[in-house]
Amino acid sequence: MTNGHLDIIERAASLFGELVVAIAVNPEKKALFEVPERLEFLRKACGHLDNVQVDYFSGLTVDYAKVQNARIIIKGLRAISDFELEFQQALMNKRLNNEIETLFIMTSPEHLFLSSSLIKDVVGWGASPDGLVPKVVEEQLLKKLRNRAGG
Amino acid sequence: MTNGHLDIIERAASLFGELVVAIAVNPEKKALFEVPERLEFLRKACGHLDNVQVDYFSGLTVDYAKVQNARIIIKGLRAISDFELEFQQALMNKRLNNEIETLFIMTSPEHLFLSSSLIKDVVGWGASPDGLVPKVVEEQLLKKLRNRAGG
Amino acid sequence: MTNGHLDIIERAASLFGELVVAIAVNPEKKALFEVPERLEFLRKACGHLDNVQVDYFSGLTVDYAKVQNARIIIKGLRAISDFELEFQQALMNKRLNNEIETLFIMTSPEHLFLSSSLIKDVVGWGASPDGLVPKVVEEQLLKKLRNRAGG
Amino acid sequence: MTNGHLDIIERAASLFGELVVAIAVNPEKKALFEVPERLEFLRKACGHLDNVQVDYFSGLTVDYAKVQNARIIIKGLRAISDFELEFQQALMNKRLNNEIETLFIMTSPEHLFLSSSLIKDVVGWGASPDGLVPKVVEEQLLKKLRNRAGG
Amino acid sequence: MTNGHLDIIERAASLFGELVVAIAVNPEKKALFEVPERLEFLRKACGHLDNVQVDYFSGLTVDYAKVQNARIIIKGLRAISDFELEFQQALMNKRLNNEIETLFIMTSPEHLFLSSSLIKDVVGWGASPDGLVPKVVEEQLLKKLRNRAGG
Amino acid sequence: MTNGHLDIIERAASLFGELVVAIAVNPEKKALFEVPERLEFLRKACGHLDNVQVDYFSGLTVDYAKVQNARIIIKGLRAISDFELEFQQALMNKRLNNEIETLFIMTSPEHLFLSSSLIKDVVGWGASPDGLVPKVVEEQLLKKLRNRAGG
């Protein structure tokens, strides 16, 4: 979770009555943090946003959206390469459930370079995560990456 | 106004309580139809959408949005080149008024090739506008383009 | 094999006297189906196309084309990211054998979102493959993915 | 007409039994050379290609292709921006006449920077057109651009 | 001249011993300000940079670079569309004079949305140019655009 | 190391007083050749360039640049996809050390299709590496890839 994600969440929360921020759990992809840790990060970083609920799910996003009675999926767009994959995904989702629409919000320019993998890289090599990730993530990220480096 | 525009309007209208569809009048750009004609097209093509209001404005989009008490600007995205210009525009709008957000909705695949200039081209050369533009636009478009060709 | 592939094959078959559809076997990449299964899919899905021959090969595409006495390689283009990789590949092939040209055909808009990996994803999570892949692939795909999910 | 165009023509001519190279005449766009001059350039530059016929047309490309009994339209692709416009155009053409397919051929790397407008620019400022355009175009291009500059 | 240009100039000036900032005069393109005004803007905005010289030229950039004994041309890159045009231009320049190289510097994220035409648009409609253009340009831009609007 | 890399090195070496060509060692990525081999390739291929020093490092590029007292990082740009990743990386580097700038140089058109992975692919399948990689790499590449194929 980066400051780019948090910015998208805060802006989306200000536009809609209710917002569910959900982690899509993919058992085949190995994330740096476990789902409970990531939920904890989200909960703390979104603590100031009253209309935001934090959750996780596995399965199809449109199925999860339906369970939540959500008509809108909000995604952040950062770059051309995002654009293409998200376009494919949005078309597929529309086909799977025509009732649900994906809306895109552009990343703020100061967060354009905040990809999770780039942050892991530079923090792993000793750069400070200050300003790149929410405060609640910083300490855990340092612990995780420095341990790994020393392992 | 193409069927691509109408599709975006219908989808947006189904997601939000109230939608204003507004023509941005640019005195320096010469459009094929005058503003009153274009308003008429919009009004007729959106007649079945109860929560859609049709309007026009000149000036800054964010200023118009404020007058309308709108927090959200909806734009359709069709291609990479759209993406870049809209990204610039959205960042500029955010700077001009931080309270207003631009959300993007992806064009349906069957409308990807519907650019106004391409339609004017092919209809001007004799292709049928059927299925490319709303029914209310068809007749006027044929009249306008065939006259011009014959002029 | 998706309906997007089938569409490209059918359109190419209608343009040329003879068409060889060949699976490029890459021993280092693990595909969902084995080569004999994939050949079987192709043979059944192309059964209605008299001038189409189904085959597989390993090695350089231009070497295989030469063995087949083919002067033209047909590829489908779906997106910008396809474009760049295919451009590189086409330039390299041209350098390896200047006699052989690569021609590109644009994917139909209704198949733009049909990437094999996206289909595997959504079908793996329970979506129906109906309309995404040829009928002959559907059953096998469900069997394979549901087993894996349950494994 | 640039050496990039000639390269595409030569490669296409080697692949198909018969090739018609046609100038699409657009009365609203002012070209540097008149249609008869451009036809003359094409005829001379393609003189060594027995199966190439040179022509011009106005109207829809698919209508012209039909008159010529052509099933295939060949276009050169140079860059991402080409890709998007050509993609739109190809989808529109497919809609106008489903029998006709557009096939794309990649520009050779040494011709990537040969856009007509860039050539007019640099030759207009005194650069030599040698190697940028066919020999038959060189002299006329110099005459036209130097006159204009001196006018 | 925008704050994006100034940022590129300042960063380039800090890297090289001597920097010439030159306006390429194109008699066929109508700019908002005349060349003497634009030179004046550049001179004032770069007044704090000791190693920067301000100039203008018409003709080929590589010819001008040669007259200046410059081996390097610095250009700012902002977006994909910039990238393609600049790539073509750089390849052409390399062909015209193999001794001169074009180096690119990425625009800072906070200037990504600063295109001259977008600024003219929004300032023309009443937005403040503060923070978008150098202070010396602000007053003149307002005068020019407000006059035009009132004309 | 490809002929594309060598071209960038030679051009950069001709522009700057001193150039350090450094391999960024990433312990998590498995390269075809070990670091000492790759250093040997670089040293031999750059033997004719007096102002080029060959080195390797692990850690942040900006930290290494600082140790070397370098103000400028030179990168080659080949394609849109390069552009986006390099843009992100350059912005991140600028944030990590504001004193160091990344400058980009465009790949020559004849090297556009030289990606290391594509070369490994085609040489692995029996294509000649002649003209794709420097002479000193050719023999080792053949040995390595042919052994692997035979293993």
Residue range A83-124, pLDDT digits in tens: 888 888 999 999 999 999 999 999 888 888 888 889 999 999
What are the chain A neighbours of E110 within 8 Å (beta carbons)? 109-110
Is the model more confident about D102 or about F83?
Answer: D102
CB contact under 8 A, B105 and A102: yes
The pair phi, psi for residue F23, each rounded to 5°, is -85, 125
Task: Give the count of Cβ contacts less than 8 A between chain E and F.
Answer: 57
Q: How many residues does chain E have?
A: 151
The pLDDT score that the predictor gives to residue C150 is: 46
Residue type at D21? V
Residue E11, chain F, CB below 8 Å: the answer is yes
Residue C109, chain B, CB below 8 Å: the answer is yes
What residue of A is the nearest CA neighbor of C123?
A60
pLDDT tens-place string over residues C52-76: 999 999 999 999 999 999 999 999 9
Rounded Cα distance between D64 and B26, Å, is: 37
CB contact under 8 A, B104 and A106: yes
The pLDDT score that the predictor gives to residue E148 is: 66
For E132, residues 6+ apart whose C-beta sits below 8 A from its C-beta are E2, E3, E114, E119, E123
On the question of pLDDT at A8 being above 90, the answer is yes
What are the chain B neighbours of D87 within 8 Å (beta carbons)? 112-113
The pLDDT score that the predictor gives to residue F113 is: 80
With contact defined as beta carbons under 8 Å apart, do B22 and B56 qualify? yes
List the single residue in F15, F74, F101 with the smallest CB-CB distance to E71.
F15
The pLDDT score that the predictor gives to residue E150 is: 46
CA distance D107 to chain F (A): 11
Is E5 considered catalytic here? yes
Q: How many residues does chain A have?
A: 151
Residue A142, chain B, CB below 8 Å: the answer is no
Residue D92, chain B, CB below 8 Å: the answer is yes
Residue A83 three-state SS: helix
Predicted confidence band at D148 (pLDDT cuts at 50, 70, 90)?
low
Rounded Cα distance between C4 and A143, Å, is: 47
Rounded Cα distance between E7 and E11, Å, is: 6
What residue of A is the nearest CA neighbor of E113?
A109
Residue F80, chain A, CB below 8 Å: the answer is yes
For E64, residues 6+ apart whose C-beta sits below 8 A from its C-beta are E22, E57
Q: Which residues of chain B have pLDDT under 70?
A: 148-151
Residue type at E37? E
Virtual torsion, Cα F46, F49, F52, F54, nearest 10 deg: 20
What are the chain C neighbours of F79 within 8 Å (beta carbons)? 84, 88
CA distance E12 to chain F (A): 9
What are the chain F neighbours of E109 within 8 Å (beta carbons)? 91
Active site residues of C: 5, 29, 78, 116
Q: How many CB atoms lie within 10 A of CB F14?
A: 13
> What number is the average pLDDT over the span D129-133?
94
Active site residues of A: 5, 29, 78, 116
List the single residue in C74, C80, C109 with the smallest CB-CB distance to D80.
C80
Interface test with F, best of E83, E105, E110 (most F CBs within 10 A): E83
With contact defined as beta carbons under 8 Å apart, do A16 and A22 qualify? no
DSSP-assigned states of every residue in C50-111: TTEEEEEE-S-HHHHHHHTT--EEEEEE-SHHHHHHHHHHHHHHHHH-TT-EEEEEEPPGGG
Rounded Cα distance between D71 and D69, Å, is: 7
The pLDDT score that the predictor gives to residue E10 is: 97
What are the chain A neighbours of F89 within 8 Å (beta carbons)? 113, 118
Is F108 considered catalytic here? no
pLDDT tens-place string over residues D11-27: 999 999 999 999 999 88
pLDDT tens-place string over residues E120-144: 999 999 999 999 999 999 999 999 8
Residue D69, chain E, CB below 8 Å: the answer is no
The pLDDT score that the predictor gives to residue C112 is: 82
The pLDDT score that the predictor gives to residue A109 is: 85
The pair phi, psi for residue E50, each rounded to 5°, is -65, -35
With contact defined as beta carbons under 8 Å apart, do A57 and A26 qualify? no
Interface test with E, best of B80, B88, B93, B94 (most E CBs within 10 A): B88
Pairing outcome for strands D19-24 and C101-106: unpaired
List the single residue in B86, B103, B109 with the smallest CB-CB distance to A103.
B103
* Mean pLDDT computed over every residue of chain C: 91
The pLDDT score that the predictor gives to residue E151 is: 40
The pLDDT score that the predictor gives to residue F146 is: 77
On the question of pLDDT at F77 being above 80, the answer is yes
pLDDT tens-place string over residues D38-58: 999 999 999 999 999 999 999
Q: ipTM for the complex? A: 0.91
CB contact under 8 A, A113 and E109: yes
With contact defined as beta carbons under 8 Å apart, do E107 and E4 qualify? yes
CA distance D90 to chain C (A): 8
The pLDDT score that the predictor gives to residue D150 is: 45
Residue F139, chain D, CB below 8 Å: the answer is no
Chains that touch A (3 or more CB pairs under 8 A): B, C, E, F
Answer left, alpha or beta for residue A22, where phi above 0 means left and psi between -120 and 50 means alpha: beta
Structure tokens belonging to residue D127: 């650069």
CB contact under 8 A, F122 and C60: yes
On the question of pLDDT at C151 being above 70, the answer is no
What residue of B is the nearest CA neighbor of D89?
B113
List the single residue in F113, F118, F125 with the smallest CB-CB distance to C59.
F125
pLDDT tens-place string over residues F41-57: 999 999 999 999 999 99
On the question of pLDDT at D151 being above 60, the answer is no
pLDDT tens-place string over residues C123-133: 999 999 999 99
What is the architecture of the domain spanning F3-112? 3-Layer(aba) Sandwich (3.40)
Residue A126, chain F, CB below 8 Å: the answer is yes
Among E75, E116, E120, E144, the one annotated catalytic: E116
The pLDDT score that the predictor gives to residue B83 is: 81
The pLDDT score that the predictor gives to residue B6 is: 96
pLDDT tens-place string over residues F19-28: 999 999 988 7
On the question of pLDDT at C26 being above 60, the answer is yes
On the question of pLDDT at D85 being above 90, the answer is no
On the question of pLDDT at E149 being above 60, the answer is no
What are the chain A neighbours of B71 within 8 Å (beta carbons)? 14-15
For F56, residues 6+ apart whose C-beta sits below 8 A from its C-beta are F22, F23, F24, F25, F35, F38, F39
* Mean pLDDT computed over every residue of chain E: 91
CA distance A39 to chain E (A): 30
What are the chain F neighbours of D80 within 8 Å (beta carbons)? 80
On the question of pLDDT at F80 being above 80, the answer is no
List the single residue in A59, A63, A92 with the smallest CB-CB distance to C118.
A92
On the question of pLDDT at D149 being above 60, the answer is no
CB contact under 8 A, E59 and D125: yes
Among F66, F75, F116, F144, the one annotated catalytic: F116
Residue E24, chain D, CB below 8 Å: the answer is no
CB contact under 8 A, F88 and A126: no
The pair phi, psi for residue B119, each rounded to 5°, is -65, -45
CB contact under 8 A, A88 and C79: yes
Pairing outcome for strands A101-106 and B101-106: antiparallel
